Amino acid sequence: MTTPSGPGDGRLDPGLSAIMSERRQLINLAYRLLGSLAEAEDVVQETYARWYAMSRQRQEAIESPGGWLTKVAGRICLDLLGSARARRESYVGEWIPEPLPDRMEWPGGRPGDATIDPADRVTLDESISMAFLVVLESMTPAERVALILHDVFGYSFADVAETVGRTPAACRQLAFSARRRIRTSRSPVAPTARQAGMVRDFKRAWEAKDIDALIGLLDPGATAIVDGGGLVSAGLRPIEGGEQIARYIIAITRRAPGLTLLERTVNGQPGLVAQQDGVIVTVAACDVVGDRIKRIWAVRNPDKLRPWTVHGVEEQWDGHRR
């Protein structure tokens, strides 16, 4: 998008280019905060609407337009997170963050704050994993915003305070509390090649309807969560236990004989996509711990699968991070 700097002169407004270049950053931020690409795009649209609602004089008086946009987007997300809990209570069945196709994640983020222990910093890759996004759901909105802005995108606690509406010291405590939740739930991350191999073996066992192989690949205490949103068939509660999950998968295969499984990158990690008559009906993310699959998050809600069907997902992973 371009606009002339003056009537009829054909020159581009350099300020507009700088403002629009922040869009990628804002989408990355809002997706991590909300767990929904659709909602993230709405937040970015509203953020830009507020920018352009200001006079040119007010815009030029802002020292850091990118910082202003981030602050506004963060505040909008904070308000949405406050109302999201009420919406989730009325959600039919289990709620899972919207899965992100690999090609829709972009590099981004700010330079790291040197005061953070590198061991505490969350990497950009880790911060879009389904396991991480699910843990975020257990946090308060303020904890979530403080952690993402500071630990992931590298903003100072003084900047975070302007977004959250609390003191820098309070925001530091919010981030500390959020990190503690992450450490409590975090499992050792298996190398990507091992994850890919496990998911590929799981796919083959599923296609072969080999229940013993499926049970062998699943941790005995594994959990599977299926999100149908009340729009398609899905379990209303988590499926507990490797054997129970394996039997559930075999039952699905018998009910849908034409199901096609594809290896795809889901939220930065090896996962599976299921197609029925060429239409994507399920996107599954897997958490591999050691040599077993510990958790499966399967999204079947068609509203959450739109990014996959609209943009397409052509590439397969080959066992290595691209």
Q: What is the pLDDT of residues 36-84, one digit of tens each?
A: 988 999 999 999 999 999 999 999 999 999 999 999 999 999 999 988 7
- Residues paired with residue 297 on neighbouring β-strands, in sequence order: 225, 285
Judged against a pLDDT cut of 80, whether residue 224 lies above it is answered with yes
Q: What are the angstrom distances between the C-alpha of 295 and each of 131, 205, 239, 241, 278?
A: 9, 17, 10, 10, 26
Selected residue with higher pLDDT from 220 and 111: 220
283 vs 273: CA distance, rounded Å: 5
222 vs 294: CA distance, rounded Å: 5
Q: Is 93 exposed, middle or buried (0-12, 13-18, 19+ CB in 10 A)?
A: buried
User: Which whole number is the average pLDDT over 70-99?
Assistant: 89
Tokens representing 220 are 């005995």
User: Which whole number is the average pLDDT over 154-171?
Assistant: 96
Selected residue with higher pLDDT from 295 and 86: 295
Segments of 170-247 assigned E as strands: 218-227, 239-240
Query: What is the reported pLDDT for 311?
Result: 54
**Confidence grade of residue 255 (pLDDT, cut at 50, 70, 90):** confident
234 contact partners, CB below 8 Å, separation of at least 6: 93, 94, 226, 227, 228, 298, 300
Query: What is the reported pLDDT for 317?
Result: 40
Judged against a pLDDT cut of 70, whether residue 112 lies above it is answered with no
232 contact partners, CB below 8 Å, separation of at least 6: 281, 300, 301, 302
- pTM higher than 0.95, yes or no? no
What residue has token string 């799981």? 202
Judged against a pLDDT cut of 50, whether residue 156 lies above it is answered with yes
Q: How many CB atoms lie within 10 A of CB 185?
A: 12
What residue has token string 């988590």? 238
The 3-state DSSP class for residue 65 equals: helix
